[in-house]
Chains A and B, each alone.
Chain A
Amino acid sequence: MSGLLTFPLALLVVLVLCIAGYLLGRRRAVGRVKGDTRALHSRPVHHGWHVVMATLIPSFAVLVLWAFLQGLVSSVYLGTTVADDLPELALPESQREGLEDEEIAVREGARRELFLGNVRVLNEAIYGAISSDVISLPEIEAWDAAETDVGGELRSAGQIAPIGVTPAMQEAALKLYGFERTLSAIGPLLVMLLAAIGFIWALSRIDGDFRARNVVERWVMGLLIFASTVAILTTLAILAAVTFPSITFFREYGLFDFLFGLTWAPAGDTVGVPEGPGGEYESLLGFLPLIWGTLYISLVALLVATPLGLLAAIYLSEFADRRVRAWVKPALEVLAGVPTIVYGLFALVTIGPFLQAVVGTTIMPNTVSVMTAGVVMGMMLVPFVSSLSDDVINAVPQAMRDGSLGLGATPSETITKVILPAALPGIVGAVVLAASRAIGETMIVVLAAGALSNVQGLEPNPFGAVVTVTTRIVAVLTGEASGFDSIDVLAVFALAFTLFFITLALNLLAQRIVRRYREQYE
């Protein structure tokens, strides 16, 4: 984002224009009617704001767009400057033997990508070296890549630069550098120009009859509506992000093989280039072992969280006196506010070794296991279950309690025989929500469930290590993937796809149950 560094100046100019515009707009509005503000259709403030908006909105929109488009434009430029017949891009004769034309094309494409990547890195290095005043542009232009080690020079100037820079590479990088300099000079200029035009135009419109208030209010309304569509845009973006790569993956790998495969063993095939002997992918990407691990841990977590959370909620809402509540509720909130990575580390360094000491190393060879992650995740979910249960228990009308107590039932009988049956749908909703959380939980399982990259079959031992959906997502996407070119990366998006829809379904189900339940007592 080299070009952005001059945008702060443009921003500053826009800001100054805004403040000046506000003050001038007000002043001018008053001046137009010779101080008799009653002759104005809108208050002077509105005229001020009108100028601010005319200055700010177009220029700011261009600024944001520019920041995003700059990269795209320069990459298109780079694509067009690098000629296809460069000798560096051709596959050497020695490697062409026995290859079909299609494969040569794929490999030459990869060489081109590599070349372009190197040009980009070189460009960044040149920019870095120049902006830190170590080397000047003419100096770099003077280097002859055939004789000077351009990469080495830049590395010794503290930059990250490719090895084996060729003259063509140097030339392309310098062209790209020049183009980007021009682009990033035009951008801020355009922004400032737009701001100035808006500023002058808005000031010129000020008049006694000008309905500044209506214009301002219409724009504010538009901005409010835009802001509230962010949630929809986010949802759509998430949907697109998980769906498109998944579709490619299912088409390439096969939906059936994914859903019912019992082995997860990524091998790093490139998309479209299966490397197995029979033309199939060498990567084995079966979903079952991962979802098994996820559900196994979630089950343990729910078995811990549901009874504890429910009993705690019952005790707090029906038995505890005010002083106990005043202490226990904040303690539960503390538990709920602890970041999950803290739980993950706790599971790893305290609970895992403890469990291993209790059950022995024959049953539990590692400190990471289903139980390690499940027990801690269960404890994490206790406050969640208890506060949701507390809500539904309190939503049972007092008339039910009175009715039962009035018949001579003890408080416990009232809870077990009247309140709990009445609250059951709401409690089920709470547990479903907790299940959705458990399935989507990441950091605890990443640290405490196991980290194998290859798994085969379904681990039955609750003290054995498993791999979960979220663990695999983190493992692959934290790595150095830079595009959707590996089948393993696509597979991870298929995992994300299933994760998103499973949790979405559970959430919708829980919301439905809880809404029905609340309507019953309204």
Chain B
Amino acid sequence: MAKLATKKISPRYRPLSQIATATYDASAEELKTYYRQMLLMRRFEEKAGQMYGMGLIGGFCHLYIGQEAVVTGIQAALRPGDKVITGYRDHAHMLACGIDPRAVMAELTGRAGGISKGKGGSMHMFSVEHGFYGGHGIVGAQVSLGTGIAFAEKYRETGGVTVAYFGDGAANQGQVYESFNMAELWKLPVIYVIENNQYAMGTSVNRASAEGELYRRGESFRIPGRQVDGMNVLAVKAAADEAVAWSRGGNGPILLEMKTYRYRGHSMSDPAKYRSKEEVQKMRAEHDPLDQAKKRLLDAGILDEESLKTIDREVKEIVADAADFATASPEPEPSELWTDVYA
């Protein structure tokens, strides 16, 4: 066997991938906002889980509980006009985009008041008004689509960036790499966010990925990557700020791997027997994004227990109102069967 040539580093080589360590220095107001948003996501998803159990929500329902810091930190770095696209675990992304919780919950219940008039369901929700382009049920499809939305931003010279969220499972789809290639080739303003919650349904990253350090997955396309503590909203925000500056600055795509964790099963029908209760419990106890944010708020004296309770009460009211609306809203008219097929 021939001896391998001594490794030569090309002069074009640059260290593309790093483990990010920075955290964002949030103001008191920002920290409160992040906490409140994450709490809304958690309570909303808990309610969705309950309503699923009661038979009010059908089909597939993928909860975001545990991952709240990711979308909260990323969205905090965006500005109005930027675009967002994600996969099927999308409820919290919509809340983070500022979409009315009533319209999201009523879509989950399949009612006329849902954001897709009840015709999309949990996995297929959209709000062009809020720059939210779905909500896509085919694993990995949103990566090509998001790259195309970024293409449109560049074509029209809007200065906007697009965030394409996907999971560790989608990270093994071929079209993800086809998209990476074109995005870097054409310097498209797209931020790829891998929400690595460790399990693609029941398959752990290490059982599915030859390169489990997913932040390095863009390297052969010369796309820089960062691995980020996705349970810490301030780490997410810091990485997102860097990524947004990079992409908005005309440098093309960047890849953020968010190390995160979902506490619930893949979907409501998943008993999650592929991991131990201890593993889940350890993540909840030691890394919970809400607990971390709450501790910061208390330690810094920004909020006391009483004001935290007030926030909790307000958020519960919003969620209860959304649930009431989603239960009271009528089913779509039968005539809706035939609408929205063609323009």
A and B held together in a complex: no
